[in-house]
């Protein structure tokens, strides 16, 4: 199963339209420091996929997951698990959170919404 990536430019368009659920899979400290506006924090870990399926029971939801670029490798397995459960609109942010930062897009700070 191949991973479905989305660029920061494509994600920004979806965020602006309110057509995407952004999942920040970094730890809570990194999330509180800064995150994509509207993103929820679901730290990567043992129950990651279980937690996502509880938060987003609708398998048609457009979900974009992101981590730090250095963590992208470990992310393939949970992403593929999610797709295997029928989440056909799940995507990974290409080049991770760094791509959003490098583009100079807006950030939120603190615990978020």
> What CATH number is attached to the domain comprising 28?
3.40.250.10
pLDDT, position 67: 81
* Domain assignment present for 109: no
* Domain assignment present for 111: no
Span 57-79, average pLDDT: 78
Tell me how many domains the chain contains: 1
* Domain assignment present for 12: yes
pLDDT above 80 (res 69): no
* Domain assignment present for 113: no
Span 52-67, average pLDDT: 94
Range of the domain at 40: 5-103
- Report residue 96: phi and psi, to 5°: 65, -165
pLDDT above 60 (res 83): yes
pLDDT, position 1: 40
Q: Give the helix ranges, DSSP H, for the chain.
A: 8-17, 28-33, 48-55, 72-84, 96-103
- 27 or 72: which leads in pLDDT: 27
User: Of 9, 15, 78, which Cα lies nearest the Cα of 44?
Assistant: 78
Are the beta carbons of 38 and 113 closer than 8 angstroms?
A: yes
Q: What is the percent of the chain where pLDDT is above 90?
A: 63
Model pTM? Answer: 0.88
């Amino acid at each position: 199963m191949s991973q479905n990536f989305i660029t920061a430019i494509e994600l920004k368009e979806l965020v602006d339209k309110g057509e995407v659920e952004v999942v920040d899979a970094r730890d809570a400290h990194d999330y509180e420091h800064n995150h994509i506006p509207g993103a929820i924090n679901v730290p990567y870990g043992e129950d990651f996929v279980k937690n996502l399926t509880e938060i987003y029971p609708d398998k048609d939801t457009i979900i974009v997951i992101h981590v730090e670029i250095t963590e992208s490798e470990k992310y393939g397995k949970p992403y593929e698990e999610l797709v295997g459960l029928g989440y056909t609109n799940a995507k990974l942010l290409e080049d991770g959170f760094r791509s959003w930062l490098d583009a100079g897009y807006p950030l939120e700070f603190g615990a978020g919404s």
